[in-house]
């Protein structure tokens, strides 16, 4: 039984091992595969995650569900959510899922789902919940590969923004979040040497 309360308007969110279980994560992967098939989307799904301790186990369960339903996965590792969204436009993928607890306390985690380059939300998340409740999933054997994207993201941002024209004193507080894996490199590419607060 998957807790229905984890399915919110804009994401799937809950307390890890309480209402957001590994069983739920695997079922989300399988149900998501149904949505892709319904929309005629054939191709890989990008999967990223933030740096919460529960992220690795949820990633494994989600990927098990996706690949067990025949969906290929490109694992982009620990990245901030905007980089997952960037990957939807720059990787050979048809969709993406970010595992993140967002602004919530550390015991929470969840999934932000995209189909194509748009967010799955509202009726789409309700439909995903209903698919999971019905329990009818495709079977298959998808593949998993990893792809490093932070360097490419930083290069793209530098190409778009360029080096900042004036010396700046910048303090960056990533709030112990996944932004810390990209911010130092990004600011350096823009010509800024920030003071990082970790």
Give yes or no: 102 in active site: yes
**CA 56 remoteness from chain centre:** 12
- The dihedral through the CA atoms of 40, 46, 52, 54 has a sign that is positive
- HSE at residue 117, side-chain half, CA atoms within 13 A, is 8
Do 70 and 19 meet the contact criterion of CB atoms below 8 Å apart? Answer: no
Q: Which of 78, 104, 112, 97 is nearest to 175 (CA)?
A: 104
| Phi and psi angles of residue 154, each rounded to the nearest 5 degrees, phi first | -60, -45
State the catalytic residue, choosing from 102, 114, 119, 133.
102
Q: How far apart are CA 123 and CA 70, in angstroms?
A: 24
Active site residues: 102
């Amino acid at each position: 039984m998957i807790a229905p309360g984890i399915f919110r308007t804009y994401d799937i969110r809950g307390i890890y091992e309480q209402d957001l279980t590994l069983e739920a994560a695997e079922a989300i992967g399988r149900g998501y595969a149904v949505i892709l098939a319904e929309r005629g989307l054939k191709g890989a799904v990008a999967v990223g995650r933030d740096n919460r301790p529960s992220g690795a186990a949820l990633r494994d369960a989600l990927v098990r569900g996706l690949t067990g339903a025949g969906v290929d996965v490109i694992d982009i590792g620990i990245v901030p959510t905007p980089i997952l969204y960037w990957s939807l436009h720059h990787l050979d993928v048809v969709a993406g899922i970010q595992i993140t607890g967002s602004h919530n306390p550390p015991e929470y985690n969840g999934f932000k789902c995209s189909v194509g380059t748009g967010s799955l939300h509202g009726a789409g998340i309700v439909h995903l919940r209903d698919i999971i409740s019905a329990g009818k999933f495709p079977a298959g054997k998808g593949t998993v590969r990893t792809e490093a994207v932070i360097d490419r993201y930083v290069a793209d941002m530098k190409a778009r923004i360029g080096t900042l024209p004036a010396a700046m004193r910048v303090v960056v507080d990533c709030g112990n979040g996944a932004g810390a894996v990209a911010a130092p490199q990004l600011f350096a590419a823009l010509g800024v040497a920030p003071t990082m607060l970790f």
